[in-house]
Amino acid sequence: MTSSKNQKVSAKTVFTNPIHFLAFGFGSGLVPKAPGTAGTLIAVPLVFLLSSLSLSIYLALCFAVILSGVWICHYSAKKLGVHDHPGIVWDEIAGFMITLAGMAMSWQNVILGFILFRFFDIVKPWPIKWIDKKVAGGIGIMLDDVIAGMMAWLCLYGVNVWLGS
């Protein structure tokens, strides 16, 4: 598997293979600039839809998205021959779901959660950067975004406590 993240993937490849379609965030990972941000944007309506569920069901769905994501991302990366292709954004969907787990669905929480998650996903403070470089396969692809989502959740929770929300 190569490490070239600039490999172009065709829309036909994504839209004719259901696993690539999921890995590429229902096609959002095909955008030429900032596919991770596009993948996170796709997660916003999904999180809104799931927010009406009980917290235990929401968390179970997060867990299912993470577990399935290990396989989905590994499969797609292997078939494309590129570890963690930028268009693979299923991990961003999982990370954003984690960021807003148990939070009130206010526009303030969604916007701040979005900014925090993208910050941690892009900047990759320790241990995210270490995981991104050292952990291979689907687990590596998913784990750095899961940790970024947890860090974003902690910050968002802190802001909500501080503001008394």
- 3-state SS, the chain, equals CECCCCCCCCHHHHHHCHHHHHHCHHHHHHCCCCHHHHHHHHHHHHHHHHCCCCHHHHHHHHHHHHHHHHHHHHHHHHHHCECCCCCCCHHHHHHHHHHCCCCCCCHHHHHHHHHHHHHHHHHCCCCHHHHHHHCCHHHHHHHHHHHHHHHHHHHHHHHHHHHCC
pLDDT of amino acid 1 = 47
Q: Does residue 5 fall inside a structural domain?
A: no
pLDDT of amino acid 118 = 98
Q: Does residue 4 fall inside a structural domain?
A: no
Q: Each residue of 103-160: pLDDT tens digit?
A: 999 999 999 999 999 999 999 999 999 999 999 999 999 999 999 999 999 999 999 9
Q: Does residue 1 fall inside a structural domain?
A: no
Q: Does residue 150 fall inside a structural domain?
A: yes
Query: By residue range, what is the domain housing residue 155?
Result: 11-163
pLDDT of amino acid 8 = 87
pTM for this model (two decimals): 0.93
Our count of domains for the chain comes to 1
Average pLDDT, the chain: 94
